[in-house]
């Protein structure tokens, strides 16, 4: 099964190599790995998706904590967090393609259905940008292929994850209110935070 770990590590040279080598020693395959800045200047945030047995999560977390660069590790499940992925898809859609320019309007329609955006339009191709669950991205790619379009390039970031809830006073202040999470009435929080999250 797939496990999604969010690891905060010290922003030092070789941190990525240390983490990747750890998974190699454990003989666990990394499906995707994204690294970027976190809310702290000296800490990087890694989202690691790996394929491992269900009972292997504890061993993986314990091994990550043994690295001196590790600040914190959390396993985020689908129901516990928001998991998203960014994808760029370049599709052949020039005058020499089947149906000519009419194929472009069909791609625009597909982009609307899947909530993708057209970010580049060239004489021979269209580039789509899509953010969402991995299954939604794979659905768009499958529909494009089954519709007879030629996909020239696909670039995917891999999963990024963040646990839901736990809105601290810093989060609420950034959203435009003051006080601690416990001091703000539920109605006020409902006005600030969207109540309907689209996980599709």
Residue 194 has pLDDT above 50, yes or no: no
Residue 146 lies in a domain: yes
Structure confidence at residue 139 (pLDDT): 95
Domain with 177 in it: 165-192
Residue 76 has pLDDT above 80, yes or no: yes
Structure confidence at residue 193 (pLDDT): 45
Look at the chain and report how many structural domains it folds into. 3
Tell me, yes or no, whether 11 and 66 share the same domain.
Answer: yes
Tell me, yes or no, whether 51 and 95 share the same domain.
Answer: no
Domain harbouring 41, CATH code = 3.30.70.260
Residue 129 lies in a domain: yes
Percent of the chain with pLDDT over 90: 55
Tell me, yes or no, whether 115 and 144 share the same domain.
Answer: yes
Residue 113 has pLDDT above 90, yes or no: yes
Residue 199 lies in a domain: no
Residue 89 lies in a domain: yes
Structure confidence at residue 17 (pLDDT): 93
Residue 48 has pLDDT above 60, yes or no: yes
Residue 142 lies in a domain: yes
Residue 187 has pLDDT above 50, yes or no: no
Percent of the chain with pLDDT over 70: 78
The DSSP bridge pattern shows strands 117-122 and 81-92 to be: unpaired
Position with higher pLDDT, 100 vs 103: 103
| 160-185 confidence digits (pLDDT tens) | 988 887 655 555 566 565 544 444 44
Structure confidence at residue 91 (pLDDT): 94
| C-alpha separations of 66 from 17, 19, 31, 38, 70 in Å | 15, 11, 22, 21, 8
Residue 69 has pLDDT above 80, yes or no: yes
Helices assigned H by DSSP within the chain: 15-25, 57-66, 102-113, 134-146, 169-174, 186-192
Secondary structure class of 168 (helix, strand, coil): coil
Residue 64 lies in a domain: yes
Residue 35 lies in a domain: yes
| 124-145 confidence digits (pLDDT tens) | 899 999 999 999 999 999 999 9
pTM score, whole prediction? 0.71
Read off the pLDDT of each residue in 149-163 and give the average, rounded to a whole number. Answer: 92
Domain harbouring 152, CATH code = 3.30.70.1150
Instruction: Assess contact for 161 and 83: CB atoms under 8 A.
Output: yes
Lowest-pLDDT choice from 32-36, 98-102, 160-164: 98-102
Tell me, yes or no, whether 125 and 102 share the same domain.
Answer: yes
């Amino acid at each position: 099964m797939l496990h999604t770990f969010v690891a905060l590590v010290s922003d030092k040279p070789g941190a990525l190599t240390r983490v990747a080598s750890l998974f190699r020693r454990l003989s666990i395959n990394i499906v995707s790995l994204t690294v970027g800045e976190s809310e702290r200047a000296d800490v990087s945030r890694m989202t690691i998706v790996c394929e491992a047995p269900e009972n292997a999560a504890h061993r993986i977390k314990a091994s990550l904590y043994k690295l001196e660069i590790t600040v914190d590790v959390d396993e985020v499940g689908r129901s516990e967090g928001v998991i998203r992925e960014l994808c760029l898809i370049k599709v052949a859609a020039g005058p020499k393609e089947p149906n000519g320019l009419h194929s472009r309007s069909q791609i625009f329609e597909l982009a609307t259905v899947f909530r993708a955006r057209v970010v580049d339009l060239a004489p021979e191709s269209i580039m789509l940008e899509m953010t969402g669950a991995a299954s939604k991205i794979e659905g768009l790619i499958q529909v494009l292929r089954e519709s007879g379009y030629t996909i020239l390039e696909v670039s995917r970031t891999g999963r990024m994850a963040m646990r839901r809830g736990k809105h601290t006073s810093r989060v609420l202040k950034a959203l435009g209110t003051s006080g601690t999470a416990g001091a703000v009435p539920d109605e006020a929080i409902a006005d600030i935070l969207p109540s309907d999250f689209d996980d599709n």
